């Protein structure tokens, strides 16, 4: 049964696809964004035009105060969250580890690790059956990069996603008695706005991906909404690779 869904970083790409599919499946959706207000509002409007319920809420998931406010606004609009998709994430310009600066590490871990941790904290406070909640689901969007250790120049991103994988497994064990399921999706090469050269990406996929193509954001969304649904009621502590075999 659909409930209240919060999707972080939902103004575009994978996050937008998850929010739109959730809205189409009957979820009341919070479309979170940091800077892309127009795009997030467009996603929320599309959901409402289709007969669903949605709001767009600005919050930088790298900032604790913003995260607390995000969930308070959802409480006011729809009631307590019942499904959280931690999708928001950033990368840094590629560089060797010898050239990485602490400021960049703080920035990427604030959004990719601390953000999901604090969003999960706020969700658990509302979902936990031990705290008077009705249970719920947390889905973390990681990356196949966490398992590809040959990505030169991407160690901060790889490390942050590896931390998210570990967080998923530990949290799933911790909150299972609270009626909360936790899972993780690791997308592979997905056709999103972050890729400027689409043709080059397609050529890369032909040799790097066993299925020989780039994935579509909606293919990640389908997996995420399934994990949030009752159809996945016996699934927790799982890391699902959605990368065409890569």
Residues taking part in catalysis: 157
Measured from the Cβ of residue 57, the count of other Cβ atoms closer than 10 Å reads 21
Joined together, the tokens standing for residue 89 give 């994430």
Task: Give the full edge-to-edge strand order of the sheet including 83-86.
Answer: 53-58, 28-33, 4-7, 83-86, 136-141, 180-187, 238-242
In this structure, are residues 88 and 117 in contact, taking their beta carbons and an 8 Å threshold? no
| Residue 205 Cα distances to 12, 124, 157, 173, 220, angstroms | 22, 38, 20, 35, 17
Measured distance CA(224)–CA(203) in Å, rounded: 27
Q: 198 exposed, middle or buried (CB, 10 Å; 0-12, 13-18, 19+)?
A: exposed
Residue with the two structure tokens 């929320």:
44
């Amino acid at each position: 049964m659909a409930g209240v869904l919060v999707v972080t970083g939902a103004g575009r790409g994978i996050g937008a696809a998850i929010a739109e599919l959730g809205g189409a499946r009957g979820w009341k959706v919070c479309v979170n964004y940091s800077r892309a207000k127009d795009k997030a509002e467009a996603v929320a409007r599309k959901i409402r035009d289709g007969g669903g319920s949605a709001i767009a809420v600005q919050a930088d998931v790298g900032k604790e105060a913003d995260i607390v406010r995000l969930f308070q606004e959802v409480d006011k609009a729809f009631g307590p969250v019942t499904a959280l998709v931690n999708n928001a994430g950033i990368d840094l310009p590629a560089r060797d580890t010898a050239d990485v600066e602490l400021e960049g590490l703080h920035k990427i871990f604030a959004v990719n690790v601390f953000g999901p941790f604090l969003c999960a904290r706020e969700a658990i406070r509302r979902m936990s059956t031990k705290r008077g909640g009705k249970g719920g689901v947390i889905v973390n969007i990681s990356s196949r990069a966490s398992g590809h250790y040959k990505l030169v120049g991407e160690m901060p991103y790889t490390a942050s996603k590896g931390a998210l994988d570990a967080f998923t497994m530990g949290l799933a064990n911790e909150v299972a008695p609270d009626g909360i399921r936790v899972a993780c999706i690791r997308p592979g090469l997905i056709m999103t706005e972050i890729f400027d050269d689409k043709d080059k990406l397609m050529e890369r996929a032909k040799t790097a991906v066993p299925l020989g193509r780039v994935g579509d954001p909606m293919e990640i969304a389908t997996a995420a909404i399934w994990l949030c649904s009752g159809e996945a009621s016996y699934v927790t502590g799982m890391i699902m690779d959605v990368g065409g075999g890569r």
